Amino acid sequence: MGFRDILKKSFLESYNLTDITTTDIVVAVFMACVLGLYIFVVYRIVTRKAFYSKSFSISLVALAMITTAVILTIQSSVVVSLGMVGALSIVRFRTAIKDPMDLIFLFWSISVGIICGVGLFELAVLISVSVSLVIVMLELLPVVRLPMLLIINTSDKAGEKAILENVRKYTKNYKVKSRNITDRGLDMIVELRVKKDCESLIQEVQALNGVISASLLLHEGEATY
């Protein structure tokens, strides 16, 4: 046996970690499942999407358990860990994550799986509780008042001045987002921030000469200061 074979054997034996018992596996997977369910509940409470994705919520629980299983497998042998890295490197995820909050929950679930896989259950519980408290507190914190969109359809092509005069009675922060003049009249979209009396604004605009319809919608996209 040459020096290279002796070095290779010594290296593999030194990284051949202690055997993982069945109890360790069951406890780690169980804790990952419990914390995954906790993430599932937090995501269901925090999310305010019009279309709630139940499959994404379920994937958070499964992802934590699968990550724990991968970490437990890697701990068994350095050879297995290298093979696992090679196998996972060929996986390509092409689903785009549009909401940053979804990305946070994905990393949270993966992190819980990794921490449970190495047996640091107290740290996993502490991190989960801390992250959930921070998310809920920041979600309830009123950072900025979201704007509203006033959509007006009028047959008077010169009625924009009268409309904006009524808007100024209720707010100074407004911006005309679009104007569309056709043979039938004028279509306008005005972005504004109104603290109260939204009904009075709608009623006054609707009472203007030539106004066919007036709608006030809450803009839930990105808000600017």
Q: What is the pLDDT of residue 183?
A: 78
- Rounded CA gap, 104 and 14, in Å? 36
What's residue 3's pLDDT?
Answer: 47
Please, what are the domains in the chain? 3-140 (no CATH), 148-218 (3.30.70.1710)
Residue 160 contacts by C-beta under 8 Å, 6 or more apart in sequence?
Answer: 176, 179, 186, 188
Instruction: Look up residue 156 and give its amino acid.
Output: D
Angle between helices 54-76 and 22-46 (to 10 degrees): 150
Q: Give per-10-residue mean pLDDT for the chain (225 aa).
A: 53 55 87 93 77 79 89 70 57 64 87 89 92 85 70 80 81 80 82 72 80 76 51
Contact criterion met (CB below 8 Å) for 201 and 215: no
Rounded Cα distance, 66 and 91, in Å: 15
